[in-house]
Amino acid sequence: MKAYAYVDRIALERLVEIDQPDPVPGEHDVVVAMKAAALNYRDLAIADGDYHIEVQPPLIPVSDGAGEVVAVGKSVRRFRVGDRVCAVYLPDWTHGPIRREVAARRLGGPSNGVLRELMCASEEDFVMAPRHLSFEEAATLPIASVTAWQSLFVNGSVKPGDNVLVQGTGGVSIAAIQLARSAGARVISVVRTDKHRETLYRLGASDVLLSDDPSWHRQLFAVTRAVGANVIVNVAGGETVSDALLAASGAATIHLVGYAAGKMVTFDMFEAIRRAAKFLVAAAGSRASFQELVKLLELEEIRPLIAQRFSVRNHREGMDSLRRGGHLGKVVLTFD
C-alpha cells in the first residue's frame, strides 16, 4: 500500500510517497481503506516545527480521516467489513475528563496519522461515521467538530436562548455555529471579511459582525438587548481574547480554542472581574463526545462545510491553501 510520510525530517518539502506492506489485522484490529482526509491547522504547525508537543520522524501525518472497513480481527465486535468509520484523533481518550496520559497518543503526530491507503488499528480507535455524510464530509469531523462539541456541550453547557459569539470561519468556527444554533442559541459571527456573510446566515448565524469595525461590540449589545454574549468561542487567541472579552455578558464562558493570532493570550483583568468571566481551554474531545456528536448530526441532518478538495497526491497544494487561509470550512484530501 501507498502512504505519505516524513521519513527523516519533518518539513512539508520532505513529505514523500512510500510503499509499505499491506497490514494484517491483529485479534482486536480493523483495517480501514481510507477514502478522505481533512487538514487542520496542527498539520501545518507540526510541519513547521511549531507544535506544542514534540513530534519526531518517521511520521505519517494528518489527523482527520474517514474510510471503509475492509478487514477485521477475529475478536472485533464493534465493526463489520463494509462499515463507514472515522478515525478518532485522541484514541486513548474514550470518555470523561481528559488526563495527561490519554492525550499522549495523537493521530498525525506524534502517532502515525491517516495519509495512508490502509490504516490498521484497534477497533477502539474508530467511531461509526454519520450515515448521511459522504466520506469527505465525515473526514472533517474528528478534530474541528469534536472540539466544538466538547467546548459547547461538555466543557460548557449551551442552552436555548444563549447568545453565542463565534469568531472566524474556519473548521471549528463553522461547526460551533451549526451546533450552537441546533441547541437553540442565538449565534453571532464575528469575522474579518464580509465576503461570507450570506453563507454564515445560511449555516445558522443570526448576525454577522466585522471585527475591524470599531462599533462591533455596540452592535452586539444592540442585537442581544444589552445582555452581551453568554458564550464566546475564540479560535485565534493572542490579543483577540481581550477584544472578545468586551463582548461578554456577566458570568460568560469564554472557550479558548486556538492560537492562530498568537499563543500568548492577553486580557484586562478588570474587564474579566467586572464580568466574572470563566475561561475554559479546549483540548479536542473524547470518543464518547464524538459518538454524541454523530447522533446529533444524524438527527438534525447537519452537514459540515467543505471549502476545497484536493487529491491526496496534491497534498502540498492543500496545505498551501490552508496556510493562505480565507477559506470557509474545511480543506479535504481525497484518496483516488
Residues 6+ apart with CB under 8 A from 218: none
Site for ligand NAP in 78-137 (CB under 6 A): none
Tell me if residue 40 falls in helix, strand or coil. Answer: coil
CA distances from 100 to 64, 104, 152 (A): 21, 7, 22
Closest residue to ligand NAP using C-beta atoms: 170
Q: Which stretch binds ligand NAP (CB under 6 A): 2-10, 16-24, 107-115, 143-151?
A: 143-151
| Contact mark string toward ligand NAP, 226..265, x via CB under 6 A | ---------xx---x----------------xxxxx----
Question: Is 41 a binder of ligand NAP (CB under 6 A)?
Answer: yes
Binding residue (CB under 6 A) for ligand NAP from 90, 282, 294, 302: 282
Q: Which stretch binds ligand NAP (CB under 6 A): 20-28, 37-45, 60-68, 225-233?
A: 37-45
User: How many binding residues for ligand NAP (CB under 6 A)?
Assistant: 28
- For 138, what's the count of Cα atoms within 13 Å in the CB-facing half-sphere? 27
- Reported in sequence order, the residue ranges of the chain that DSSP labels E, i.e. its strands, are 2-6, 15-19, 29-38, 64-72, 84-87, 118-122, 126-128, 163-167, 186-191, 207-210, 229-234, 248-256, 278-281, 306-311, 330-334
Residue identified by cell 445582555 is 227
- Which of residues 26 and 238 has its CB atom nearest to ligand NAP in the complex? 238
In one-letter notation, the amino acid at residue 34 is M
3-state helix, strand, coil in the chain (%, to 5): 30, 25, 40
- Reported in sequence order, the residue ranges of 73-219 that DSSP labels E, i.e. its strands, are 84-87, 118-122, 126-128, 163-167, 186-191, 207-210
Site for ligand NAP in 183-222 (CB under 6 A): 191-192
Nearest approach in angstroms of CB 298 to ligand NAP is: 22
Question: Is 286 a binder of ligand NAP (CB under 6 A)?
Answer: no
- Which of residues 55 and 257 has its CB atom nearest to ligand NAP in the complex? 257
Question: Is 62 a binder of ligand NAP (CB under 6 A)?
Answer: no
Question: Is 170 a binder of ligand NAP (CB under 6 A)?
Answer: yes
Distance CA 249, CA 50 (A): 34
Size of the chain in residues: 336
C-alpha cell at 65: 480521516
Nearest approach in angstroms of CB 225 to ligand NAP is: 26
Nearest approach in angstroms of CB 271 to ligand NAP is: 19
Question: Is 304 a binder of ligand NAP (CB under 6 A)?
Answer: no
Nearest approach in angstroms of CB 171 to ligand NAP is: 4
Residues of this chain that bind ligand NAP (CB under 6 A): 40-42, 143-144, 147, 168-173, 191-192, 235-236, 240, 257-261, 282-284, 322, 325-326
